[in-house]
Chain A
Amino acid sequence: MTAYLKRKGYEGVAVTVPVTVAYERYSTHGAHWFLGQVVRALVQQSGLAKEQIDGLTVSSFSLAPDTAVGVTQHLGLSPRWLDHIPTGGASGVMALRRAARAVQAGDAEVVACVAADTNHVDSFRHTLGSFSNFSRDASYPYGAGGPNSMFAFITAHYMRTYGARREDFGRIAVAQRTNALKNPNALFKKPLTLDEYMAARPVSDPIHLFDCVMPCAGAEAFLVMSPERARDLGLPHVLLRGAIERHNAFSSDPVMVCGGWAMDRDDLYAQAAVKPQDIAVLQTYDDYPVIAMMQFEDLGFCAKGEGAEFVRSHDLTHAGDFPQNTGGAQLSCGQAGAAGGFIGMTETLRQLTGQAGERNVKDARYGMVGGFGMVTYDRCLCTGAVILEAA
């Protein structure tokens, strides 16, 4: 009686139609407006009728009191499969994992995975104050710095433990700005030098201005369906080759030094039957540069503690030897709330289908996307990653 179910692979899942609703620093629109525009873009660019979208995942922080359910009526959708995935930076990976299973099982044929958030002039402060029970009780009353102070602790602790320097984090931010200059959707249009990075004003030492993402409004989305369906529709698409997810990992570490990716990465590479050196394009979740650096380690591109040396010896731009966050990611595009958890996914889809314009990495076959979300108290709890392959 040991017939436990073996985990099934992710074969037969295509990801396609990356869409982005242009980011704005502030918007007077609500989250539903951005959701409407992003679903409209999915319909227009896929050639599908709205009624053919029979599965939907929604990720948003500024939707309350609505959830994915209210969105169906708001947008006149009638899916037979629905999920609400309010997990911020991990929502892209988690949405794809769930949508993939729905498509494999036949619960839905075409799943729209959408993430959207608005940003009003005062909304960030309200989001911080009511983000989680633990943050209300145990972090917000301490300076109300939001995640900045928590990631200042994580960064300071990492620097002390592994000898990383501010310049090392600066290399990540500077390379991403270089990438962003070739991404028309990036809100940051000016180059960033390492000197400017170093001279930026402190926010919560050692976090300085260019270590922080800028909250903004915007939306990101993609479609999940079978490869046959994508082919029939004539849609450029990629194949899902592996996916992992982990929550509240390494919870006994007094300060976060390692993300949940490290627990599951062997599984991830085994699913895809590839090695780290096969990954041509990496999109890390970059709420702060230290987290991008941790993903280099925890996703197996270098050993724990060698992240700083890794960024010193690699060129992280789209034209470099380790193309990372090739569209500029959140540090240079802006953080459109939960859409920040999708930006790596849409960028990878564009990279692997040749839609990334000037910043397209040549002949990229495998891409990896990391997700990291929900700083409820002293770290983000959700981690995830996927490997995608050009079709």
Chain B
Amino acid sequence: MTEPLQRPPRKNPILRTPQMNLPPSHRGRVALGITAGAAEGRFVLQVCGECGATQYPPREACHQCLSAQLQWQTQDGRGELLAETTLDHSNDLYFRERLPWRLGMVRLDAGPSVMVHLHGEVGAAPARVRVVTRLDRSGQAVLIALPEKGSPHMQDDPMLREMACDPKLRKVLVTDGKSPVGQAMVRALIAAGADHVWVGAAEPWKQPPGFAELSQLPQVTVVPLDVRDERSVQETASLIGAKVDIVINTAEMHRGGGIANRRGLDVAREEMDINYLGLLRLAQAFGPVLRSRAADGLLHACAWVNLLSIFALANHPPDGTFSASKAAALSLAQCLRAEMRGAGIRVVNIFPGPIDDEWNQNLPPPKLAPKAVATAIVKALQSGVEDVYPGDIAQDWLARWRDNPKVLERELAAGGM
């Protein structure tokens, strides 16, 4: 049984905030295939395209038939724990600061033996386990053995919490709480046990339906935040920045339209100002303090979430300028991820298809409910995933884009969706 996470005592302000020491982050190019799978929450191993052998650690050739046709295939992770150890000594600072630490050797039903971090509920060897991947604090994939059947609070296992960014008991900033996604986000965070949610609100004269009730929730504080205004962002950051554990940037501007059906740059400029420069302003204001708190106790700062769009992968001409602004935001998010990784802060990107809101009113379904977007973000934080493609449209686009981006471009140019 995992004990449910309890609110830790208040931080002693006299002590130095502990600094982050990352776990070993070096991996070879081939092994990064496991990280690529883990980024989406999949446990993949190399399977030989000729003889079918599954192998680990990742290699450049099939260890059985020497074929170079190695494919990453999703694994169910079932296996047996054959041996375990509790580490009481380590040469690495990250683990020294977290000892004792349980490790195991699991023989997967698929064949290979894998070294894993052990969940506290996994009993003594031999024991049936389920191996999954997680991104560790360095952002690289590690394998973890979970009990076949966990207890209700198994997510609160200290090792598992290290690999995730669970909003439970954490303090979160939602940069725009007025939009349908923003409102759903706030409610989903509260449902997930967030301790406090700051809700950014621009344009005080605008009071969309539902926002007044949301503002009254006991966990919510509305803060003025207009991502178009550098001063507004700086002021709010100086007010709450040192307390925020997770930043969720929901601020976005979407007006349909491409090039030919528009006059002037006003809309496109506004989209870039919010969708791209807004992220940059937020990252400059909130990034440094978030990085400095990556090891700040049990409820340390842990994540930054960007609401992007599946249109960031390939331009959807009816939403031409919006797509361009989201592509710019994706590129910047990659930069942010690279910079945050060294501090142990995870950057989560979410790529929804069209959302069921007023700006997609004329679009036929399937459309993604704002609540589904919010749920996907919470789930990503809880399970330690960093790239999320929620819903059927996003999954479909992702598959086609991976298959052949040029074919997707032509299909979209011909009016496809």
Contact = CB atoms under 8 A, between A and B. Distances in A.
B31 A138 contact: yes
Interface in B138-161: 138, 140, 142
A138 B57 contact: yes
Contacts of A138: 31, 56-57, 114-115
Interface stretch (A145-153, A268-276, A291-299, A348-356): A145-153
B89 A148 contact: yes
Contacts, number: 123
A319 interface: no
A16 B86 CA distance: 44
B87 A140 contact: no
B12 interface: no
A229 B76 CA distance: 64
Contacts of B94: 144
Interface string B199-217: 0000000000000000000
Q: Counting chain A CB atoms within 10 Å of each CB, which of B27, B28, B88, B104 scores highest?
A: B88
B24 A144 contact: yes
B86 A205 contact: yes
B334 interface: no
A133 B29 CA distance: 10
Nearest to B86: A205
Interface stretch (A6-14, A102-110, A122-130): A122-130
B361 interface: no
B123 to A, nearest CB: 13
Contacts of B105: 153, 157, 254-255, 378
A254 B82 contact: yes
A149 B87 contact: yes
Contact of A149 (B24, B30, B85): B85
Nearest to A132: B57
A234 interface: no
A328 to B, nearest CB: 23
A203 B89 contact: yes
Interface string A139-176: 11111111011101110110010000000000000000
Nearest to B118: A142
Given A125-B91, A255-B113, A204 B83 contact: no
B28 A156 contact: no
A140 B94 CA distance: 12
B107 A152 contact: no
B23 A141 contact: yes
Given A129-B24, A204-B89, A205-B86, A141 B114 contact: no
Interface in B1-48: 23-28, 30-31
B90 interface: yes
A201 B91 CA distance: 16
B85 A204 contact: yes
Contacts of B83: 152-154, 156-157, 160, 255
Contacts of B103: 142-143, 145, 149, 152-153, 204
Nearest to B79: A254
Interface residues of B, number: 40
A254 B79 CA distance: 11
B87 A145 contact: yes
Contacts of A137: 27-28, 30-31, 57-58
A142 B28 CA distance: 16
Most chain A Cβ neighbours within 10 Å, of B25, B105, B117, B138: B105
Contact of A378 (B92, B115, B117, B142): B115
Given A143-B92, A144-B95, A254-B107, A136 B26 contact: yes
Interface string A199-225: 001111111000000000000000000
A143 to B, nearest CB: 5
B89 A133 contact: no
A207 B140 contact: no
A79 to B, nearest CB: 34
B344 to A, nearest CB: 14
A129 B174 CA distance: 40
Given A141-B24, A254-B107, A160 B125 contact: yes
Nearest to A144: B92
Contact of B91 (A133, A134, A139, A144): A144
Given A143-B101, A144-B23, A204 B91 contact: no
A383 B263 CA distance: 77
Nearest to A377: B57
Contacts of B115: 138-139, 142, 149-150, 153, 377-378
B185 interface: no
B84 interface: yes
Contacts of B114: 138
Given A137-B57, A138-B114, A255-B82, A145 B27 contact: no
A133 B59 CA distance: 9
A207 B83 CA distance: 13
B116 interface: yes
B136 interface: yes
A54 B87 CA distance: 48
B140 A156 contact: no
Contact of B28 (A133, A143, A144, A154): A133
A375 to B, nearest CB: 12
Contacts of B84: 153, 156
A289 to B, nearest CB: 16
B335 to A, nearest CB: 25
A232 B113 CA distance: 54
Nearest to A252: B111
A159 to B, nearest CB: 9
Contacts of B101: 143
A136 B91 contact: no
Interface string B165-208: 00000000000000000000000000000000000000000000
B95 A143 contact: yes
Nearest to B58: A137
A378 B58 contact: no
A129 B115 CA distance: 16
A254 B115 CA distance: 11
A213 B27 CA distance: 28
A157 B106 CA distance: 12
A156 B87 CA distance: 13
A211 to B, nearest CB: 12
Contacts of A150: 115
6 contacts: A145-B90, A149-B115, A204-B85, A204-B89, A254-B105, A255-B83
Given A140-B24, A142-B115, 18 more contacts: A124-B91, A137-B31, A137-B57, A137-B58, A141-B136, A142-B117, A143-B87, A143-B101, A144-B24, A145-B103, A149-B85, A157-B105, A202-B86, A203-B89, A206-B85, A207-B85, A254-B113, A377-B57
Interface of B: 23-28, 30-31, 56-58, 82-92, 94-95, 101, 103-105, 107, 113-117, 125-126, 136, 138, 140, 142
7 nearest interchain CB pairs? A144-B92, A152-B85, A137-B31, A153-B83, A138-B57, A254-B107, A157-B83
